[in-house]
Amino acid sequence: MKTSHAPAAAGTRILRLDEVCAKLGLGKTVIYQMAAAGEMPSQVKIGARAVGWVESEINEWLAQRIAQGRVHRKQEPAEASA
């Protein structure tokens, strides 16, 4: 998933890794692997040795994953009866 490099709007919240893990229910390694593979929003550098994720990007990505999961679940019974 590619994201734009537009300046962050006022009020943009940055989530640290522990918050992203808790919100998504995924481990640290999986989050870094998925971000590197372009499967989820990538982290942004917020300091010399600190990164975080833009909360709105994580929320949007999570909403898309939920929607995709529900679409696939609705399609499975129809496919099974075919």
Domain range list for the chain:
14-81
Adjacency order of strands within the sheet including 44-47: 14-15, 50-54, 44-47
Q: What is the per-residue pLDDT for 70?
A: 85
From the centroid of its chain, how far is CA 42? 8
Run of H or E including 51:
strand 50-54
Q: What is the per-residue pLDDT for 23?
A: 96
Q: What is the per-residue pLDDT for 78?
A: 56
In the block, residue with structure tokens 């929607």:
67
> Could you report the per-residue pLDDT of 14-36, keeping only the tens digit for each?
999 999 999 999 999 999 999 99
Where does 1-82 have alpha helices with state H? 17-24, 28-36, 55-81
Architecture in CATH of 14-81: Orthogonal Bundle (1.10)
Per-residue tens of pLDDT for the chain, all 82 residues: 554 555 666 789 999 999 999 999 999 999 999 999 999 999 999 999 999 999 999 999 999 999 998 877 777 665 555 5
